């Protein structure tokens, strides 16, 4: 993440990865304040066994693109709402030049970034793939339960 203040958003990615039992690192790296450290992190990530990078940043949000520029590892960008309702970060992350792709999720969408990372990893890992199947089934069951609970509300003109 671009700074420690991004943690309140990025914690959702950490929580989701932890629930999937996928090992991960947490780092605060700034494209503007610690550019050398960002480049070192990105260049050495593959040798440390990292297979997907989730990068969250607000405002100018150059972190994701800087990382993507120097690593062959897929990068998922999380635009963080630090100003302008996060639109500045969203545009900075999604508008990458040809050859430097960054997958981008919704503003403050760190949980979805973790799920997308898990889906990428699942292409070569049956255990993670099964965890995703179970996760999505659980999402389905929550909606089924919600609909059952809504049946309890009775109104004279409600059509059931």
Question: How far is Cα 87 from Cα 89, in angstroms, rounded to an integer?
Answer: 5
With contact defined as beta carbons under 8 Å apart, do 48 and 149 qualify?
no
The model's pLDDT over 113-134, given as tens digits with 9 standing for 90+, comes to 999 999 999 999 999 999 999 9
The model's pLDDT over 98-118, given as tens digits with 9 standing for 90+, comes to 999 999 999 999 999 999 999
DSSP 124: T
Question: How far is Cα 137 from Cα 98, in angstroms, rounded to an integer?
Answer: 37
Structural domains of the chain, with CATH? 4-125 (3.40.50.1970)
Question: How far is Cα 76 from Cα 116, in angstroms, rounded to an integer?
Answer: 8
Model pTM score? 0.92
């Amino acid at each position: 993440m671009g700074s420690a203040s991004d943690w309140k958003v990025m914690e959702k990615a950490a929580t989701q990865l932890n629930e999937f039992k996928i090992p991960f690192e947490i780092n605060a790296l700034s494209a503007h304040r610690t550019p050398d450290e960002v480049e070192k992190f990105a260049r050495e990530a593959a040798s440390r066994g990292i297979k997907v990078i989730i990068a969250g940043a607000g405002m100018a949000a150059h972190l994701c693109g800087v990382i993507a520029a120097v690593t062959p590892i897929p990068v998922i960008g999380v635009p963080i709402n630090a100003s302008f309702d996060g639109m500045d970060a969203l545009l900075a992350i999604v508008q990458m030049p040809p050859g430097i792709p960054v997958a981008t999720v919704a503003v403050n969408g760190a949980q979805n970034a973790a799920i997308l990372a898990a889906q990428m990893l699942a292409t070569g890992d049956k255990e993670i793939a099964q965890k995703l199947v179970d996760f999505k089934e659980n999402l389905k069951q929550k909606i089924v339960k919600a609909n059952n609970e809504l049946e309890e509300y009775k109104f004279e003109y409600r059509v059931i």
